[in-house]
Structure 1
Amino acid sequence: MIILAATPIGNLGDASRRLVEVLENAEVVAAEDTRTTQRLLQALQIGNRPRLIALHDHNEKQKAAELAALAEEQDIVVVSDAGMPAVSDPGYGLVAAAVERGVTVTAIPGPSAVLMALTISGLPTDRFTFEGFLPRKPGERRRALGTLAAEPRTMVFFESPSRLASSLADMGSAFGEHRRIAVCRELTKLYEGVRRGTASELVRWAEAGVKGEIVVVVEGARPVEVSAEDALAQVQALVTSGARLKEACAEVAAATGLSSRDLYQAALAARSA
């Protein structure tokens, strides 16, 4: 089988007993960086010396089929440099290849920078979306943020320290200055910290220089207050442009806070009138 194993994102004390047991008995470990994994084995005092196979962004397409075939014969433990494999890290391609071959895939849960940042951000946690890293090029980044301007769920991003200030500035332009943002850095490490504020407040702070691994959590768009008549008009416009009625109702409901069912019934009533 394929075993996706979550590894510490900073503090070694977060390594689970199950992770240690699996690594102690592993024959093959597919690792994002074999050198990082060797250091992890040493730090956890793992006496086992498994066969290490590099599995990273540049070779996963070539390696996925080979490793999936090997997993038909023996277990393969998959680790990234930190956190859960396949979450903004190598692993998805291997899992897809394994599923296609009928190979069992399981995971050892554990540390996650996404979930930790979300839970300590002070922003709503009931519904959220993980957007990974924003595009490096400013124009592409602004376009990506523009498509998320009406997203009602809390959004989680990874970002590099060197691009943090410019990304926060672009968030302010795309989302408006009222949005609450939490910048989480060095999670589980000695200098862990969270900075909260609006985009403009955080830009001034970030321009002074920020170090470490960064997770940015952004408040979702608040429902726009519109009348039922205007909302129905929006639904009808979406349907006219090619959307299915249920999808149009769900989209307008998410943006306005109105009931999707009520909008659907109103649209049906308007058709028969």
Structure 2
Amino acid sequence: MGDLNGKIALVTGSSRGIGRGIARRLARDGALVAVHYRSNETAAKETAGSIQDEGGRAFLVAAELGVPGDAEALFASFDAGLAGIGAEPGLDILVNNAAISLPGHIGEVTPEEFDRTVAINAKAPFFLIQHGLRRMRDGGRIVNVSSAVTTTAFPSTIAYGVSKGALDTLTRTLAADVGERGITVNTVAPGFIETDMNAAMRATPEAHAALAAISVFNRLGRPADVADVVAFLASAESRWITGQRIDVTGGSRL
């Protein structure tokens, strides 16, 4: 995979789950990684610690998303973190991974739940990109983490699907806007991955087996399955790929 030495990466929601896997993989490829978290500092420190144990470099960025001024607050923490370790300011790789998923069919979702879901999953990435581009060097990489729900109907999480659909559109449109700077913008769309977010859905052996059977490989995905694809999109080898949605579902429901 590509050499990311000298690159600075920011991965939102990287204290656990898919985000942790992405942060660790980018660090193994040589990037200095900003590990973003909202409130679970212990988990974020575990992510950073695992990176350092593997010979990589990381620092923490704390900020709540989905609230007024979130992008400004996050990048204030990001800039301070870089300065605190004596690193030059800048950004090369932005991975918008942080998200929430609230259950509910169309008749059950409240306006407050809808607004919060969209604010974290779609609005926050929009303005993080806006602020990130001011720091991003030419030839940078933006990767948005979407979901299989934008191409397969999941009525029980409709608000989540709407928010991720907006993220897919953002990817394609933004790619056309920043191409002249050599910046690529792509989406990865995972299916069911073994993370805390869906633990309740696979609480029994029968439920776990049913979810695994959705993939042609008859297993659930792992964070590394997604992280490896993100690492490729963050590398120089992906320079001719932009505006694309990469399915990372293990051939689910083919």
Q: TM-score if structure 2 supplies the norm length?
A: 0.35
Where relative contact order (Cα < 8 A, 6+ residues apart) is larger, the structure is 2
Which has the greater radius of gyration? 1
